[in-house]
Amino acid sequence: MSAIYEPDHCSTSNYFGKAPKGDIIPREIDKKPSERVNEIRKLYFQTKSSASVEFPYWYTRKWEELEGEVTIVRRAEALKSGFQHLTPAIFPGEQLVMGKAKYLRGSYPMPWLSEAFFMSKEDEMYKDALEAGKVSADEVTTMGQGGGNVTKSMGNVLSIAGKFGLRKEEMPILLNIAKRWFNKSVDDLGHKYEMMVPGYDTKEEIMRAVICMFDSGYTLPQGREVLNYFYPLQYGIEGIKSLCEEKLKESAGYPVMDRLYFYKAMITMLEGLQDWITNHAKEAELMAELEGDQNQKDEYLEIADRLSRLSKDRPQSFHDALQLVWIFHIAVLNEDAISGLSPGRLGQVLYPYWKRDMDMGIIDEKKTLELLESMRMKFTEIDCFASMGVVGGVLSGNTFNNLCVGGLNKDGDSAANELEMLIMESAMTCATPQPTLSLLYDEKLPEDFLLKGVECTKIGTGYPAWVNNRVGMEFLLDNFRNEGMDIEEARAWSIGGCLETSAGSWMPLEMDGKIHYIPGGSAPATSVGVHFISLPKVLEAVLNNGLDKRTGRRVYPAHDCKLDSYDEILSIFKHYFEITVEVLTLTNNIQHDIWGKVSPSLINSMLKPDCLLKGKDISNKGSRYNRTFNVEVCGGVNLVNSLASIKKNVFDDQTMDMATLMEAMENNFGYVKAGDTGAYSLVEQVRNKDNNRWAKIHNLCLKAPKYGNDDPYVDNIFKEWQDYFSKMAANYKSLYDEHLYSCQISVSTHGPMGAVTLASPDGRLDGATFADGSVSAYPGSDKNGPYALFSSATCYDHSCSQNSQLNMKIHPSVIEGREGARKFLELIKAYLRKGGFHVQFNIVDSRMLKDAQENPDEYRDLMVRVAGFTQYWVELGKQIQDEVIARTEYEKI
């Protein structure tokens, strides 16, 4: 009988500088919200994500009643019915009211988009989805086990997608409704037609292998974009209806007739919104009736009055305007499953109202701060109901409502204002994940504004992210010139979602006889098209002659090459990558076309310039700018490090041959797989009995040149990849006949995509999470300090891509105090002046994160920056937690 092998645990930590000693160092600043908002936040912390069936029930019922009606009108009537029947809820202490559904963290399934993923795994519909590769990502995703996630069914509550609770009594009707959408949903209809794409079988294999994370057309068809609040602010709902009625009369009987149906649909939809708002006004009156405390009673009556007015008229005050903005924000979120619906430069949109109220003494800074804190709570309450692979594997439970500050105004001067200073202050006093902040850095911004941003980043919230205004403008001018973008319009841009550069426009808001040009989004969803291709997984297929070794299935045609030169490997990689992009472009074009045909956007279309003027929804190119489809990738740094390792070890130095490297990787370099240990970074790994056999090979792979150290050997490979990728993406076209562009954010996909990828030539182990973002170094591999990392990251032109993403982790003691803040700002400026597009920070002692992993109950409010978003630690999956812990912690800058 052979001896039982005792696994050898090895733990490391990744530091640049000396590892900290003594107690865990807390974050430097600790501010608190107002007492009222603190109570709401406490309630939030006790609240579970909850789904309900009201909206989908009434939507489906009306949809079926109107069979034969023109689709866009039928959809409007269905939406109207959904809004009319949502149970209104107003929670104690709220100053801004209304939510997506009746619960505090409410959401609901939208079976008209997709109906399979929330079925039980035994249901035939779920099995069909699994077979088609639609839910493969769900199977390999780890969901956060704490916070508001309902991870298990209990009592009268069922857990769906590992996150949402649904009352048991609602399940039978949900299944009944879902089955009514069988073969009618965007998912099913899209699938029917995407199968006609030549090479469709390859697409299914790509999905099964989790080389691609998910389709966008039926999962998150909208989002990663910036809303535009101009029309409700300028006209009020009755005003927009009047405008539509005029346009309807002009359209009836004249070409193009679709305009008639569009305006009819708009009026119908707006009537639904009016009823929804009015129902909440009545609920506020009821709450007032039941209230004993006079102050609270008066507040309820004030809410009722405000909602009654806003159901018809334009806002009269800052508070009104903020409430109306919020109503339209969640109204859009209720028409589709959406992530990354960003309020954009809200502080500039609302500034005219705020300034007038301040000048008239209607509001003061304290009251403003409390309202902004209330706004933060409302945004944080947003949940997106989607499958586990999407909501966990991509979003990490986040919804990416990005609020931008700074940038330039229409005339090219600094757009920063005092309200934005208060927005940053509220993000410190009420530190919550939403809305996340991005600071559009420009040399013209005042120093005190930048230092406010630094103060906020230092608190450890992960925001604001620092974004290069000029690089964003260059990207927009390059990509939207054909649609009329000029320098003035480019200044109106903002971040949509976590980090998607989005086109904007200046809209003329009239107040007291004066025109204020306010910025807002003027392009539809981006990060639609080709979603998250796992680059290391494509390379793995190259090395395995087109097979997915994990499942043994053939994904790509066999190349049957010997792989006896670096150039040959790179050439086959590009070939496989291009096969992937092509088939996914075509299939996603069909899905999005079906979405526009059977479930067009109405509310967002109404808001987006120039849909209302043209009488066209966003799926008919009603928006001012339409080049928004992109190719998203993940794991670029692991790809580049792997190519560098192959080039160095196999071909240049010939320290190993390809067969040996392949065998070492198949044996996971002598370690236990991450899937078996449950540890997803290289910080915590377990050696197996064959470790000695592969130790030398592994060491050579780890020591091969690594991105992030200002090493031309690997940086040249990185630059070549970037130049190739940004050019090749433009070879493909969206259904709107616009060229695609490259997009490089990982969100959370580097977790599940790493989980299905074998050990890679860079020394990364089987199942370990990839490097996050796009220009972040692989954890522990950046050994030459921040400026070397900056040089590597900026070895190519960032304006050729929609974004780039750099995450850094800095110990709080390094940037302590006023001097530390100045030093920190200089560090940020140094990167952005080199042409970096984006940098964001975790200011945290890594030991605190380890402690939080072991004692989650003591860290309910701990937030970390992942990749373009901030999330509560306890709501992150283990794959991402491990990666954040493993990131190199800078002990000096």
Partner 1 sequence: MKHIDCKYYLAVDVFKGICKRTKDEIYADKEACDEFEILHTCKHCSNYRVKDEKMGLCMDKMPAYPDMNAALCRDFRLNN
Residues within the interface to partner 1 (CB under 8 A):
43, 46-51, 53-54, 57, 61, 64, 84-87, 89, 91-92, 102-105, 150, 155-157, 165-167, 169-170, 172-173, 176-177, 279, 286-287, 290
β partners of residue 166: 51, 158
Pairing verdict, β 164-167 and 50-51: parallel
Q: How far is the CB of 286 from partner 1 (least distance, A)?
A: 8
State the minimum distance, in angstroms, from the CB of residue 50 to partner 1: 4
Q: Considering 500, 632, 875, 883, which one is annotated as catalytic?
A: 500
Q: Which is nearer to partner 1, 290 or 360 (CB)?
A: 290
Among the options 212, 384, 430, 498, which is catalytic?
Answer: 498
Residue type, 879: Q
Compute the distance between CA of residue 552 and CA of residue 573 in angstroms, rounded to an integer.
19
DSSP of 690-710, one letter per residue? THHHHHHHHHHHHHS--TTS-
* Paired strand residues for 14: none
Nearest approach in angstroms of CB 145 to partner 1 is 17
610 is written with which tokens?
């120039």
Nearer to partner 1, 287 or 775 (CB): 287
Residue number with CB closer to partner 1 (28 or 170): 170
- Name the packing angle between helices 365-380 and 35-45 (round to 10°): 10
- Taking the C-alpha atoms of residue 232 and residue 321, their distance in angstroms, rounded to an integer, is 9
Q: How far is CA 705 from CA 14, 620, 808, 815, in A?
A: 17, 48, 20, 30
CB of 278 to partner 1, least distance (A): 11
* 285 assigned to active site: no
Nearest-approach distance from CB 117 to partner 1, in angstroms: 19
φ and ψ of 133, to 5 deg: 75, 10
Of the pair 47, 784, the CB lying nearest partner 1 is at 47
Per the annotation, the verdict on 420 as an active-site residue is: no
Question: Which CB, 176 or 242, lies closer to partner 1?
Answer: 176
Tokens of 244: 């539509």
Q: Give the nearer residue to partner 1 in terms of CB position, either 20 or 106.
A: 106
Give the dihedral of Cα atoms 440, 441, 443, 447; nearest 10 deg.
Answer: 110
**Six-digit token pair at 329?**
């924000």
Question: Minimal distance in Å, beta carbon 102 to partner 1?
Answer: 6
Strand order in the sheet with 164-167: 106-107, 50-51, 164-167, 157-160
Residue matched to tokens 């034969």:
68
What is the smallest separation between the CB atom of 856 and partner 1, expressed in angstroms?
Answer: 19
Dihedral pair phi/psi, residue 701, rounded to 5°? -65, -40
- Which is nearer to partner 1, 104 or 404 (by Cβ)? 104
Can you read off the two tokens belonging to residue 258? 């679709």
- To partner 1, the closest distance from the beta carbon of 108 in angstroms equals 12
How far apart (Å, rounded) are the C-alpha atoms in residues 12 and 331? 48
- Between residues 49 and 742, which has the closer beta carbon with respect to partner 1? 49
In the complex, least distance from residue 33 CB atom to partner 1, rounded to whole angstroms: 19
Q: How far is CA 749 from CA 147, 224, 355, 393, in A?
A: 21, 16, 42, 6
Rg (CA), the chain: 26
State the minimum distance, in angstroms, from the CB of residue 106 to partner 1. Answer: 8
Quick one: 48 or 355, whose CB is closer to partner 1? Answer: 48
Q: Which of 666, 659, 669 is nearest to 700 (CA)?
A: 669
* Beta carbon nearer to partner 1, 61 or 574: 61
DSSP annotation of 764 = P
Nearer CB in complex with partner 1: 169/447: 169
Indicate the residue among 57 and 725 with the shorter CB distance to partner 1: 57
Q: Which long-range contacts (CB under 8 A, 24 or more apart) does 660-667 make?
A: 660/697, 661/697, 661/701, 661/761, 662/543, 664/694, 664/697, 664/698, 664/701, 664/759, 665/543, 665/758, 665/759, 665/760, 665/761, 666/549, 666/758, 666/759, 667/693, 667/694
d(CA 369, CA 31): 13
521 closest CA partner among 419, 624, 429, 660? 624
410 phi/psi in degrees, rounded to 5: -55, -35
Alpha helices in 704-814 (DSSP H): 712-729, 750-755, 786-793
Shortest Cβ 169–partner 1 spacing (Å):
5
Report yes or no: 417 and 347 within 8 Å, Cβ to Cβ. Answer: yes
Q: How far apart are CA 394 and CA 752, in angstroms?
A: 8
Contact 391, 384 (CB under 8 A): yes
Nearest to 635 by CA among 757, 774, 760, 743: 774
Residue 235 CB, nearest approach to partner 1 (Å): 27
Q: Give the C-alpha separation, 12 to 6, whole Å.
A: 19
Within 10 A of 156 (CB to CB), how many other CB atoms are there? 11
For the record, the structure tokens of 324 come out as 């109306």
Q: How far is CA 356 from CA 351, 447, 537, 832, 846, in A?
A: 8, 25, 56, 35, 46
Shortest spacing between CB 312 and partner 1, in angstroms: 20
For the chain, how many helices (H) and strands (E)? Answer: 34, 26
Nearer to partner 1, 52 or 580 (CB): 52
* Active centre residues (catalytic): 498, 500
